[in-house]
Amino acid sequence: MVAMPILTPAVWQMIGGLLGLIAGSFIATLVLRWTTARRITGRSSCDNCGRRLASGELVPLLSWLVLRGRCRQCRAAIPLFHPLVESAAMVIGCGATALQPDINGIALALFGWQLLTLALLDARAFWLPHRLTGLLALTGLIIAEPALGVPLTDRLVGGVAGFGLLTAVRLGYHKLRGREGMGGGDPRLFGAIGLWIGWPFLPLVLMLAAFAGVAIGLLPLAHPDATIDWRRRRLPFGTLLALATMVCGAMLAAPLP
């Protein structure tokens, strides 16, 4: 019987990075198309001239670099959003497999890629689709324990606590102020996050997201532009929750010294 070769940590990081590039290309396309009411399916084409892109123009990150960020035919600029998202997803893949150089690292990367998608959608359109938060919750139930080592009981409590806490905050704010202060997708996202990381880390996620929100809210003090009604600025709290969760997820997955 021939023994299966054991992959080295460097190979796992390479796999994670390559999968991240592929995932990032899909994420960038999905976010751009969903936020502009376009169909997800269909061949990729230039947003300016409508020309269908050849296979060689769809290689994540590399194609953008070779084409110098411009369409081959009309020379219109290709949005920087594509290479940035692809690079971010690659970093997530490499980082996850560096923390866990095995198949569990790929599961951890999947967690990060889902959070990245939701963070971008909320940042661009203040939208957390039910289908994606539901998928995050489902994958948390299935693969979070081997990826993060969090017991099922802690994660079930985390799912209920995360959803219940932000729902109470949302309803309480509406009752006190008579208007919406938080979108309905934020409690669902926090509940799905709880199904991944468990209840013990939820306070830290909430604290990091809140601190980030306060820091952003203080920006008017450094840039008091009279033409902007800073009081009416909306913050994509789902984006802040997703980014804070990435930090906590890395802490959970990091091997103990």
pLDDT band at 213 (very low <50, low <70, confident <90, very high): confident
**pLDDT of 218 over the 90 cut:** no
> Confidence band (pLDDT; 50, 70, 90) for 3?
very low
DSSP annotation of 200 reads G
pLDDT digits (tens, 9 = 90+) for 50-61: 677 777 777 888
**Residue 4 pLDDT:** 41
Residue 53: phi and psi, rounded to 5, are -85, 140
Most confident of 7-16, 72-81, 229-238: 7-16
Determine the average pLDDT of the residues in 140-146: 93
Helix orientation angle between 130-148 and 103-125, rounded to the nearest 10 degrees = 150
Q: Which pLDDT score is estimated for 204?
A: 97
Residues 152 and 197: their CA atoms lie apart, in Å, by: 10
- DSSP letter at 77 equals B
Instruction: Return the half-sphere exposure (C-beta side, CA atoms, 13 A cut-off) of residue 95.
Output: 18
